[in-house]
Amino acid sequence: MRLQGYLPVPANPTIEEARRFVTSRDIVIGVSSTAVVERKPDGTSRRGVQVQNVVITKESEMKPELVLHGPTRRGEVNSYLGIDARRHYFDAKTGQAIGSNMRPLLIEPYADPLPRLR
């Protein structure tokens, strides 16, 4: 039986590898937030936060106000560190958004078809 492990993120990923390792396919950056109080008809109130988000679909939409660091070229991919403290990845040739945050993949264990006899 193989033990559980992780497949590490490649240092210089191809576009296919980047799509495989990203945790979020959409690039959504929270720009600002406002505290809101919702009043209900029965007299109670509920406090919350309303966040204004920006959805990014192309690399050209990454304005300087949204970027802390970047672009950095890694293989076939450009990466940016956004103001939301997440890495966002784009195709270096076409500029299309790939996703956010690459994480190692969990390798699922499998059962040995011929178990050892003791």
Q: What is the C-alpha separation between 31 and 26, in angstroms, rounded?
A: 15
Q: What is the C-alpha separation between 10 and 66, in angstroms, rounded?
A: 26
pLDDT at 6: 82
pLDDT at 118: 66
pLDDT at 111: 65
Burial 51-82 (b: 16+ CB within 10 A, else e): eeebebeebeebeeebeeebbeebebbbbbeb
Q: Coil, strand or helix: which one is 103? A: coil
Mean pLDDT by 10 residues, the chain (118 residues): 70 94 94 91 91 95 94 94 95 96 82 67
CA dihedral 9, 25, 30, 48 (to 10 degrees): -110
